């Protein structure tokens, strides 16, 4: 039987810095949510202290009920905070962040899934700074119009998480999500953006087999994903899926080797890694800036100047 007691390598934590405390205070004063707090991420101090933060847009209630996620599931009642994009841009400008990750709850109650709100937030940030913006987006149920709206916003990195292997997807993710749907989203983001940087994330320790994990990595590379994060699933509450296995650091290093052999340009693989972990590291910043300057010149004309409201 697999021993699922929390091992020693998951008990080392990084202390908060002054930078972390200042950013937390600023985000709270502007009434902004972060996935770092809502999902009980173990890397808040490291990421926030290093100049990266992940803002959770459109409230703290999600219309989906994935069995791994600590974000609350509820009906948000269709209300969006129209001032939120401006407040996020203000927080970015005043905080000195070099890299911001925008993620969101799923809003299946909205006709556009909230894509206009997300795109407007990107544009507000870009209007006031040269900070890099990564959008970790929902699948929008595969709606390409919503995806194109995010592409046209000027986001530097386009991310969507496949989360787990094909076999486990129905038991891990909400029924409205899907393995093939996520791959199709990532493929469209790469193709329709003219090759902009794309990114995805996989959780391990849910009972996946090694060959399934390798196949998932291969599937992501097949649709052009550039950057990959692989991290240990940690059960947020007793109501969520239990951990089947704690993956050793040596196995995480093996996963990283396999991913690099498959051709991923950036890989972060480790027990505490999350989808936006060290998102602003120099490699990804350089990759995004260099490639996006070229892609902006090649972006299909039909996407330029669209969806400005």
pLDDT tens for the 309 residues of the chain, in order? 345 677 876 765 555 555 555 555 655 655 555 544 444 555 555 555 555 667 889 988 899 999 999 888 988 777 899 999 999 998 888 877 778 889 999 999 999 999 999 999 999 999 978 888 999 999 999 999 999 999 999 999 999 999 999 999 999 999 999 999 999 999 999 999 999 999 999 999 999 999 999 999 999 999 999 999 999 999 988 999 999 999 999 999 999 999 999 999 889 999 888 776 555 554 466 666 666 555 555 555 555 555 544
Residues sharing a CB contact under 8 Å with residue 107, sequence separation 6 or more, in sequence order = 58, 63, 76, 113, 114, 138
229: which strand partners? 201, 268
Task: Say if CB 192 and CB 153 are below 8 A apart.
Answer: no
Residue 15: the pLDDT is 56
d(CA 294, CA 227): 18
Residue 2: the pLDDT is 47
Residue 25: the pLDDT is 61
Can you give the three-state secondary structure of 207-219, one letter per residue? CCCHHHHHHHHHH
Residues sharing a CB contact under 8 Å with residue 135, sequence separation 6 or more, in sequence order = 101, 102, 103, 118, 122, 150, 153, 155, 157, 158, 159
Residue 77: the pLDDT is 73
Query: What global pTM score does this model have?
Result: 0.83
Comparing C-alpha atoms, which of 93, 12, 92 is closest to residue 55? Answer: 92
User: Which domains does the chain carry?
Assistant: 8-303 (3.20.20.70)
Residue 6: the pLDDT is 77
d(CA 135, CA 8): 33
Residue 213: the pLDDT is 98
Please say whether the dihedral angle defined by the alpha carbons of residues 263, 268, 274 and 280, taken in this order, is positive or negative: negative
């Amino acid at each position: 039987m697999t021993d699922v007691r929390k091992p020693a390598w998951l008990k080392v934590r990084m202390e908060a810095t002054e930078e972390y405390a200042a950013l937390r205070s600023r985000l709270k004063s502007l009434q902004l949510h972060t996935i770092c707090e809502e999902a009980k991420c173990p890397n808040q101090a490291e990421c926030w202290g290093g100049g990266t933060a992940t803002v959770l847009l459109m409230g703290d209630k999600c219309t989906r009920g994935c069995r791994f996620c600590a974000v609350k599931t509820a009906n948000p009642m269709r209300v969006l905070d129209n001032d939120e994009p401006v407040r996020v841009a203000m927080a970015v400008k005043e905080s000195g962040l070099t890299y911001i990750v925008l993620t969101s709850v799923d809003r299946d109650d909205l006709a556009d899934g909230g894509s206009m709100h997300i795109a407007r937030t990107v544009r507000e940030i870009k209007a006031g700074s040269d900070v890099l913006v990564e959008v970790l987006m929902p699948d929008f149920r595969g709606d390409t119009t919503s995806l194109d709206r995010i592409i046209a916003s000027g986001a530097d990195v386009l991310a969507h998480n496949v989360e787990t292997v094909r076999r486990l997807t129905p038991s891990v993710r909400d029924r409205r999500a899907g393995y093939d749907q996520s791959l199709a989203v990532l493929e469209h983001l790469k193709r329709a953006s003219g090759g902009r940087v794309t990114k995805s994330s996989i959780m391990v320790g849910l009972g996946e087999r090694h060959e399934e994990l390798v196949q998932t990595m291969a599937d992501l590379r097949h649709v052009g994903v550039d950057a990959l994060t692989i991290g240990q699933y940690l059960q947020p509450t007793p109501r969520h899926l239990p951990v089947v296995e704690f993956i050793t650091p040596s196995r995480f290093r093996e996963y990283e080797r396999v991913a690099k052999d498959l051709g991923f340009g950036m890989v972060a693989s480790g027990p505490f890694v999350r989808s936006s972990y060290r998102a602003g590291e120099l490699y990804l910043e350089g990759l995004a800036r260099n490639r996006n300057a070229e892609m902006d010149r090649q972006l299909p004309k039909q996407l330029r100047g669209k969806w400005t409201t």
